[in-house]
Structure 1
Amino acid sequence: MLDGPNADVIAAAEPEVGRDLTRQRVIEAAAGLLARDGREAVTTRAVASAAGVQAPAIYRLFGDKDGLLEAVAEHGYATFLAAKHVDARPRDPVDDLRAGWDLAVGFGLANPELYALMYGEPKRGTASAAFHAGMRILVERIRRLAAAGRLRVEERLAVALIHATARGAVLTWLSLPAGERDPALLTTMRESMVAAVTNEKPVVEDPGVAGAARTLRALLPEQTALSGAEQHLLGEWLDRLASGG
């Protein structure tokens, strides 16, 4: 028997630990049913039986079936996040973008029912930490493209285009009869995305702050959005950045 000042803390923590383990067991049971037998198989009774719990436990843990499905979607995002490889210094940021897109599409094709749950419904699971961590990885890829002078569009638009084309590719593929699934669909969608968000060649010969500043400085006289005073001030800033000062 535990004694001392920590005994009450440990005793209070034990029910919480048990609750978390039960919750995870239920989520994994639901995910298993979803993968094997599809969305219709994920009933409260079937999940409770597979997880070895009473049906009321599911309502206590998740509120209702929709809450359980939300948790399964969050579990899916966590599983996808664990599969992602992050290279902070890729040799070619465009090839790194392709690899990230291929990984996302590959996950969807390997987990069709889970992917349909995650991405087939607006905002399903998108409040989870894993979803936001995954989006940060995508944002970092986009910023490496921008830093290399290869980004054609604004960063937020690039994120949306990449995310939308991967989702659309998977859901379209899954909607087709098996005999009509042509791999060219996936390749064409990927390369269309790459063409839409990247430049074939860097927009500056010398990637980096100084090179970008020199390019923008050369184009500054052609712009009309700034007043004369604003253009003069920006020119001074760009001159300083271009010189490395």
Structure 2
Amino acid sequence: MRAPHAAAFLLASLLAFAPRAARAQERAGGRPCIRLLLIESTPANLEWTWWLAGGGGVQGGGGAPSVSIPSLGIGTEATAGLAQIGSPSRYGGPFELRWGPWWGLTTDLEGMRGEGGLTMSFGQVEHAQWGTYALRIGGGFGDDGLGPAPHLVATLTGGVRYAPARHSERGACDPDPQPKGIAFVTGVRLFASARTALAPQNPWQITFGLEFEPTFFLPPYSLRKLAGVSR
């Protein structure tokens, strides 16, 4: 093919292809769309759970010798996101700080007390590979080994927090997922609590044990669930 003929053929080919390319771009909304599945983790606006607790510890104060005591309890909490720190590309996602109210009932088998206050938790959005930790502070009142008086309480917890409602899947050209309004989370964790009564002689208790949300131990079972992977 001679050079003038080759140039004319190339120009005709470009003119014939151009309208088709423009139409294809218009169909794609001006951006390329590829077949790619994105798996993401989006915390809900409010996440709540409840737990059962069992353990034991020691009690003393007022000059009396320390004695061993059992500890049983039930409680609930609801948390909202306060801040996220770090890059989403980090394994497990950015670190997140959550806060909200908590309530509970505990007993040392000598009586019952009600408690409540503020909880602050620290973990990761997708997978807290080293565990999720929380601090609960507050107070309460009851008639038990601490006596019929108000008391202060602080509890430190650490363990697995599993939020399956965070999991979402979408195509590369689908809109970003929107957070759910409210979602249930589950898990299991160790706890350590310290209590002191606002009364003469300041009786105190220190207890340790296990807190768990019962459905965490029910099917379906998976390594993702046991590890607290929420994506």
TM-score category, normalised to shorter length: under 0.3
Between Structure 1 and Structure 2, which shows a larger proportion of strand residues?
Answer: 2
Between structure 1 and structure 2, the one with the greater Rg is 2
TM-score normalised by structure 1 residue count: 0.19
